[in-house]
Amino acid sequence: MLASIVAMDKNGAIGQGNEMPWHLPNDLKYFKEVTSDSVVLMGRKTFESIGNKLPNRINVVLTRNAKCLNETNKEDNLFFIDDVEKALLFSKKFEKKVFIIGGSEIYNHYVSLCDYLYITHIDAILDPVDAYFPKDILVGFKLIRKQKNKSNKDNVYDHTFLVYEKI
């Protein structure tokens, strides 16, 4: 199974300066629950913004510097690949769910191939932003799960967890 998981505002914004322009602990918890014991495929900028590999997951990072990074990497479950197609094939060889986790260039490469889309829709328009999820991606998908979450003292915005399946 190949899926994308993303949080976005009403305009499809997903980031600003390689960071999320919001802090929603509820979404971070959801992300962890959904992606644990899977493969996460991300771009170099996303990996750098996270700061280290994600635990309980196989981390695959798409980067032009894969050879150099693999030579110095001593981490288990962290791999660097320099080709879009090879990264996906490598990710699938583990026979686990594969989640595309960003950034925008990576979503653009893979979202059309996904079987599922896990979208956290944030009920806000954030500014400034400089990264967006691909537009019109829901064509050919049907909504199979929806969970509304109200803002609270820890989660500033109302947000909804949506799961779409390719039809």
Give the range among 7-16, 63-72, 128-137, 146-155 with minimum mean pLDDT. 63-72
Q: Average pLDDT in the 33-50 region?
A: 96
Peptide bond into 55 cis (omega under 30): no
Distance separating alpha carbons of residues 25 and 30, to the nearest angstrom: 9
Distance separating alpha carbons of residues 140 and 23, to the nearest angstrom: 31
Q: Average pLDDT in the 2-22 region?
A: 95
Distance separating alpha carbons of residues 104 and 106, to the nearest angstrom: 5
What is the maximum span of the chain, computed from C-alpha positions, in angstroms?
Answer: 46
Expressed as residue numbers, the domain containing 89 is 2-166
Distance separating alpha carbons of residues 135 and 32, to the nearest angstrom: 25
Peptide bond into 17 cis (omega under 30): no
pLDDT digits (tens, 9 = 90+) for 85-139: 999 999 999 999 999 999 999 999 999 999 999 999 999 999 999 999 999 899 9
Domain containing 155 — which CATH number?
3.40.430.10
Torsion of CA 24, 120, 133, 31, to 10 degrees: 70
Q: In total, how many domains does the chain have? A: 1
Decide if pLDDT at 68 tops 80: no
Q: Is this model's pTM higher than 0.85 or not?
A: yes
